[in-house]
Amino acid sequence: MLTQAVDDYLAVRRAAGFKLKTTEQYLRYFVRFADARGETYLRANSAIDWAAQAKTEVERHRRYQCLMGFARFIHVEEPCHEIPPEHVFCGYLPRPTPYLFTDDELRRLLDAAVRLGPPGSLRPRTYKTLLTLLAVTGLRPAEAYALRCEDITRDGLTIRETKFRKSRLVPIHDSTRCALAHYLEHRAGTAKDDDHLFVSLAGRPLSPCLVSRLFRQLLREADLPDRPGRPRVHDLRHRFATRALQACPGARDQVSAQMLALTTYLGHAHVGSTYWYLEATPQLMTDIAARCEDFVWGEPS
């Protein structure tokens, strides 16, 4: 009975556009757990016991929340299924503090990319162009890896169905467009069987693991911190976002417009995701504190 309920739940939600790859893994795993207990209906105690098997509190919370959604769905048609109580596990996971590359550090990183081997290969140009593009556009690394040559258009970069299955157009500066055109000239003749913009030495699309491993090599060669957790490739996106906020005009209505524009440009689903950059950056927090003091004491902003 639970297996059929899982099939129905996944079919309905996928018809609405959700992928649910991880959700399916969780639910199939739970069904096997419930079957071993001889249960044909979802029981709250079993849901708690199954989720509690995870090694971390965050993972326990994720499992439990997955079951909560499933339980509400199947309870509507069959009240014998129990809906587990809320707030059993704490799912708060602090975001890692971003590493904000200075101009000099970014220059050293790109210089290290230019020195990559093997001699005469496309590899140095690939990584210099990739890292520069991330720094000046704020793309998610996965979005850059997925770019196709045809995604470079007159209006900007076409980002197709990435996080939250949303597509968007990212305008780029003329200098960025020229750099990409220069890179494409050198790319011509390589990876003829694959149209991804950035490719590996084997002519295949770049993988996150490959880029992460090479990025750490570049950090060492550029004499930048190389320790677990940071700096990360994703920190180039953080650098772009914080620079954009630091350049924001001071008037309150202009700030709101800038935040909304940045939210759209970065592909955030909610403006709250963009506001996080304010509290994650010491200089921005200092600016906010100063403006709050001006507001409290009645001085013009």
| CA-wise closest residue to 248 among 235, 234, 260 | 260
Q: Is 192 a catalytic residue?
A: no
Distances from the Cα of 138 to the Cα of 11, 234, 240, 269, angstroms: 35, 9, 5, 15
Q: Is 154 a catalytic residue?
A: no
Q: For the chain, how long is the longest CA-to-CA vector?
A: 70
Q: Is 13 a catalytic residue?
A: no
> Among the options 13, 75, 140, 168, which is catalytic?
140
Instruction: Please answer whether residues 137 and 158 qualify as being in contact, where contact means their C-beta atoms are separated by less than 8 angstroms.
Output: no
> Among the options 216, 234, 243, 291, which is catalytic?
234
Q: Is 268 a catalytic residue?
A: yes
Distance (Å, whole) CA 182 – CA 142: 22
Q: Is 26 a catalytic residue?
A: no
Fill in the DSSP letter of residue 170: E
Distance (Å, whole) CA 215 – CA 100: 15
Report how far apart the first and last C-alpha atoms of the chain are (Å, whole number).
63
> Among the options 61, 81, 108, 237, which is catalytic?
237
Q: Is 173 a catalytic residue?
A: no
> Among the options 148, 163, 213, 220, which is catalytic?
163
* Residues designated catalytic: 140, 163, 234, 237, 268, 277
